[in-house]
Amino acid sequence: MALRPSKTRRVFQALSSETGVQFYGAMFEEQAIFSAATFNRPASFLESSFKHDAVFVLANFVKEADFTHTTFERAANFGQATFADYLTFAGNEKRLAFGEFARLNLMLSKIERPDRVSFQNLTIRPHWFAPVNARQFDFLNVRCRFKFHDEIDSLKNKVVFPYGKLARAFRDLAINCEERHRYKESSRFRFWVFETGRREKFGGWAIWHLNWWYFFASGYGEQAWRAFLVLIGIWLIAAFLYTFVGFARWEPKISNEPEANSYKRDDAEVTLNSGRALTYSLAVMTLQRPEPKPATTSAQSLVLIETILGPVQAALLALAIRRKFMR
């Protein structure tokens, strides 16, 4: 069956076709219902427009389902639908496949050949893929723009554990990009896998959890710039504090026992000037054991803390850099 109207308000229910269904340039101004429809032949909606909801709940696409240059302004509901062959969503600069208020629902849909699902030249939302495994989908010239809270709100009324489902969607998208050598996009999605877990706990402010500090220190090993800035911060903050704590005065080297017996220790404390504090802090971070030695408990504690934090942060920076180049 082929329909070529410029405008139609018809509603199709329980549609069954042996010859194929083709809608060329069709415009659905009201809700278009294809619930429980069976498409035994290829179904094409080339350059069609759905101004209202497009409902394909329980639809069965035995052959190809082609939504090339099809525009969805509202909901594109494919809940519990079955796709046995190719499924294509494609847009272009003139025809955006999914409008600003559009949402794609694949909840409980059955995709028998995920390697034949294609999204081309359009903008996607991560929560669309929470109910399905998108690892084998083909994404060509696709942009992913989203606000995290909008993604969670979109899932709260559909699934029991929205944060877990969204994290899974990010993970599948990351694996998809990794396997296709789109490493920059993969890194972004991996970041959001961890970030979703962090934001689930107390709105992301559970600073007593290790993953919060992993985020703060290096963006989960995905943001080298963050790791570098934190490393510089440790160096400068420690240097600043060194100008307020006490250090022992310079002590001469003692070469023999008579000199040791005659030497009287000077217990006076000194502080470091800003220039000396910077070099001293850098030496502590690189495990050089610089002089002078810390004379007070506060100075000793500060040196100990920087001796631990400095090398650990440097290792996180090295890891973040390595993860970018190892691919």
pLDDT (0 to 100) of residue 92:
85
Q: In b/e form, how buried is each residue of 48-83, taking b as 16+ CB within 10 angstroms?
A: bbbbebbbbbbbbbeebbbbbbbbbbbbbbbbbbbb
Residue 3 has pLDDT above 70, yes or no: no
pLDDT tens digits along 207-253: 999 889 999 999 999 999 999 999 999 999 999 999 999 898 765 55
Mean pLDDT, to the nearest integer, of 256-278? 70
Q: What percent of the chain has pLDDT over 90?
A: 69
In terms of pTM, does the model score above 0.85? no
Highest mean pLDDT among 10-14, 37-41, 305-309: 305-309
pLDDT tens digits along 92-150: 877 889 988 899 999 999 999 999 999 999 999 999 999 899 999 999 999 998 999 99
Residue 43 has pLDDT above 60, yes or no: yes
Q: Which residues contact 157 (CB under 8 A, 6 or more apart)?
A: none
**Torsion 187-192-193-199 (CA) sign:** positive
- Measure the CA angle with vertex 103, ends 99 and 108; round to 5°: 150
pLDDT tens digits along 193-202: 999 999 998 8
